[in-house]
Amino acid sequence: MFVNSQGIREITEDDAYELNIDTSMIKACKKIRNIAKLDRLSIDETVHRSGLNKHLFNYIEYLGFKPLDFVKEYLSNLQPFMIERKKDQEKEKSFICVIDNLYKISIYIKVDTKNQEELIISFHEDNIRGIAKDNSALIKIVDNENLVPVFADSIGSINNENGNVSVKVFMQRGVKVLPLSVVGFKYKDTFIVRKGDLDRQFIDYCNEYIRELYTSNLELDFNKIEVFSMLQQISFTSYGRDTFSSISLLIDSLTHQTDYNSKSAADFALVTFVSSLNLTDEQKVDLANLLDEKYKVTSIKSIDEILYRVKGALMYDGKTDLFPELNAIANDLDETGVDHTDN
- The whole-number pLDDT of residue 134 equals 86
User: Contact at 8 Å (CB) between 190 and 151?
Assistant: yes
Predicted pLDDT at 222: 84
Main-chain phi, psi angles of 16, to 5 degrees? -60, -40
Taking the chain (343 residues) in consecutive chunks of 10 residues, what is each chunk's mean pLDDT? 90 96 97 97 88 88 96 97 96 97 96 96 91 75 78 94 94 96 96 95 96 80 89 96 96 94 92 92 93 90 92 74 58 45 38
What are the residue boundaries of the structural domains of the chain, listed by start? 2-11+144-194, 13-138, 199-333
CA 213 – CA 286 distance, rounded (Å): 22
Query: In whole angstroms, what is the distance from residue 290 CA to residue 107 CA?
Result: 18
How confident is the model at residue 51, as a pLDDT?
A: 76
- List Cα–Cα distances, 321 to 276, 285, 289, 306, 311, in angstroms: 19, 11, 15, 20, 12
Q: What pLDDT, on the 0 to 100 scale, is given for residue 215?
A: 84
| pLDDT score, position 332 | 52
Q: What is the pLDDT of residue 337?
A: 42
Cβ(205)–Cβ(141) below 8 Å: no
Q: Please give the pLDDT value at position 343.
A: 38
Q: What is the DSSP string of 277-335?
A: ----HHHHHHHHHHHHHHTTSB--TTHHHHHHHHHHHHTTTS-GGG-THHHHHHHHHHH
C-beta of residue 220 within 8 angstroms of C-beta of residue 269: yes
pLDDT of residue 320: 55
